[in-house]
Amino acid sequence: MKLSTMTGRLERAKPLDPVVRVVTNAVNKVLPQGPVKDVLHGRWLGHPLHPLLVTVPIGLWSGASFLDITSGESGRDAARRLVGAGVLAVAPTAAAGWADWSELGSSSRPKRVGIVHAASNTVSAAFYGASWLARRGGNHRRGRDLALLGAASVAVGGYLGGHLSYNEGVGVSRNIDAQLKPTEWTDAAPAANLPDDGVLGVHVAGQQVALVCSQGEVYAMGATCSHLGGPLPQGAVQDGCLVCPWHGSRFRLRDGGVARGPASVPQISYDVRTLAGRIQIKVRR
């Protein structure tokens, strides 16, 4: 059976949904939306943190297996340390992954794949933990074999992680196709159409734009939420931010920056002026 057929079945595996619901609730209890979760989402980086962190345990564990295969007895201590360091790196890596996964809302297909991805990586960590214990107990051969089993499980988890990003678009900015237009002042809407402390969705130069009025000032940003594509013109204006109606990401009105996740990528931001009762915008560079 093709890998793509298997992942397709996984995406449609409704029996996973009760597990997904229970785990989502548990993760959201341990990691409610807030500054800690934002750090794990990678808001401070401007893109998701989890894909960066996964390279750490995988790199360390790959190095250990390389030493196991090529260095014989002289590489045993170093291999054990690499395996142990990789196990230690699992905690922040998994926390970042759970943070992102828990904010996929009702997107059931990536959530089903994501929970199997996490289960596979948990099995990997267990194999590598057992490998480290075996090595510490002097049983290098057993440690090496357990590490190879861990590597096989990492491959499964890695494949599913790649599928989540490349096929499901998890962690990919939904503004990727937006163009930085208009570059010159362009008419957007009559000022009278934009209510006080309200939001208006408009099309300008082929781009979807959210015009926002807050405390008498007019702002403009891309209308498609960078997280999972939520419609920002349907969002609410709060504390100098536009709040996405889907998962609550907050984008600063003044520059489109992310004030609160789960989004980690800023919105396109526009300069705004009002001339003769018409709102005009141009992309901010």
Element (H, E) at 60: helix 55-70
In angstroms, the CA 186 to CA 59 distance is 50
Which of the stretches 79-87, 90-98, 181-189, 246-254 binds ligand FES when contact is defined by CB under 6 A?
246-254
Beta-carbon contacts of 190 under 8 Å, excluding residues fewer than 6 positions away, are 277, 278, 279
51 with 45: CB under 8 angstroms?
Answer: no
Looking at 79, 115, 223, 263, which residue binds ligand FES (CB under 6 A)?
A: 263
Considering the complex, state which of residue 104 and residue 125 has its C-beta at the smaller distance from ligand FES: 104
Q: Is 246 in the site for ligand FES (CB under 6 A)?
A: yes
**Contacting range for ligand FES; rule: CB under 6 A; set: 1-9, 13-21, 193-201, 241-249:** 241-249
Shortest reach from residue 266's CB to ligand FES, in Å: 13
Nearer to ligand FES, 43 or 140 (CB): 43
Question: What is the DSSP code (8-state) at residue 46?
Answer: T
H or E element: which one contains 245?
A: none
Going by the DSSP 8-state scheme, the letter that residue 231 receives in this structure is B
User: Which of the ranges 27-35, 60-68, 224-232, 266-274 carries the binding residues for ligand FES, by CB under 6 A?
Assistant: 224-232
Q: How far is the CB of 100 from ligand FES (least distance, A)?
A: 11
Binding status of residue 249 toward ligand FES by CB under 6 A: yes
Spatial distance between the Cα atoms of 242 and 225, rounded to a whole number of angstroms = 10
Query: Taking the complex as a whole, how short is the minimal distance between the CB of residue 231 and ligand FES, in angstroms?
Result: 9
233 is a contact residue toward ligand FES (CB under 6 A): no
Choosing from 87, 96, 213, 228, the residue that interacts with ligand FES (CB under 6 A) is 228
N-terminal to C-terminal alpha carbon distance within the chain: 49
Q: Is 244 in the site for ligand FES (CB under 6 A)?
A: yes
CA angle, corner 71, sides to 67 and 74, nearest 5? 110
Beta-ladder partners of 212:
199, 219
- DSSP structural state of residue 265: S
Q: In terms of C-beta density within 10 A (0-12 exposed, 13-18 middle, 19 or more buried), how is residue 285 classed?
A: exposed
Among 42, 84, 86, 230, binds ligand FES (CB under 6 A): 230
List 201's β-bridge partners, or say none.
Answer: 210
x/- mask, ligand FES, residues 148-187, rule CB under 6 A, reads ----------------------------------------
Site membership for ligand FES, residue 225 (CB under 6 A): yes
Contact footprint for ligand FES (CB under 6 A): 225, 227-230, 244, 246-249, 262-263
